[in-house]
Amino acid sequence: MESSTIDDSVVLDEKTGAVILPYDRFSTSMRDAEVFRVARTAAAAVCAKQQGVTFMVGRWVDQPVYDSEKYAGPWTMAQAEKFGFVSPMPDADLRANGVVGEDYGEPSLLNNAEVAAMNSQLTEEESAVVEACHETEEARQFAPSPEGPWAEELWAAADDLYESPEVTNLFAELGACHEDQGLGVHQQVPEWPAGADPTRIDAEQISLAIASVRCKESLDFTRRLAEIEAASQVEVLQNYPREVAAAGQEIADLRERAKAYIDAHPEVFEVP
């Protein structure tokens, strides 16, 4: 067996809410998935235009909030104060999902309305051209290769991990803290305080979320859970150090190619 070259450290980024585990350094994030999707769609639009079909692409906007992790609900005060127990997302998504009112937060930077209006005019024949263009070699270059044999092992290890005494005891500590603070325990999600609601943001939800984060801080909950997960990941990844490193480099290279392609074709994001 090859010796491990896998970085087993964890990074808790309180500014972004990210929890970076060992495998995160080699895998596709939500932000990566979005830039790959937009680049592939842009390539399809370029292909379609060459065949006389105008297809408009939704603008790519990098959204760091998508790196924000939930660890039994919010784990930073910033998450708690903005989102309560709602999954962190851009303001425009909060509005679109009906979590907040139409006058809430920052305006969307996307051009979805223009894209929908333009592309709704495509005929069936034109739509077929666009669909075929998504399958060209130029477009498919932005589709990452399937994950290696370690992926299935990682998911299995993660499932087992949350049944382990180490993790169940940690969650029990969190539940006990919630009880001690008079918060009670959620019936469906035992790691949440009673009354936590992932569908609304209001003063009550924010107060509950802040109290839960205080419990996590007092227990060093997030770091302890992240380090348990990191050790579990490394146990798998150390069997594939070169392969995992190569896959991570492939994703990093693809990320740069996708961004460069988007920059090189601004015309597909504008109304003709």
Residue 106 has pLDDT above 70, yes or no: yes
Residue 25 has pLDDT above 60, yes or no: yes
Cβ-based neighbours of 70, under 8 Å, separated by 6 or more: 79, 87, 88
Residue 19 has pLDDT above 80, yes or no: yes
pLDDT tens profile 153-186: 999 998 889 889 999 999 999 999 999 999 999 9
Segment (H or E) for 13: strand 11-13
Average pLDDT over residues 17-39: 95
Cβ-based neighbours of 239, under 8 Å, separated by 6 or more: 1, 2, 150
Is the Cβ–Cβ distance between 71 and 221 less than 8 Å?
yes
Q: Which amino acid is at 101?
A: G
> Distance between CA atoms of 34 and 28, rounded to whole angstroms?
10
Average pLDDT over residues 189-202: 95
Specify the pairing of strand 18-20 against strand 11-13: antiparallel
Convert 245-261 to b/e letters by CB count within 10 Å (16 or more is b): eebbeebeebbeebeeb
pLDDT tens profile 214-260: 999 999 999 999 999 999 999 999 999 999 999 999 999 999 999 99
pLDDT tens profile 57-89: 999 999 999 999 988 999 999 999 999 999 999
Cβ-based neighbours of 233, under 8 Å, separated by 6 or more: 21, 22, 23, 154, 157
Going by the DSSP 8-state scheme, the letter that residue 269 receives in this structure is: G
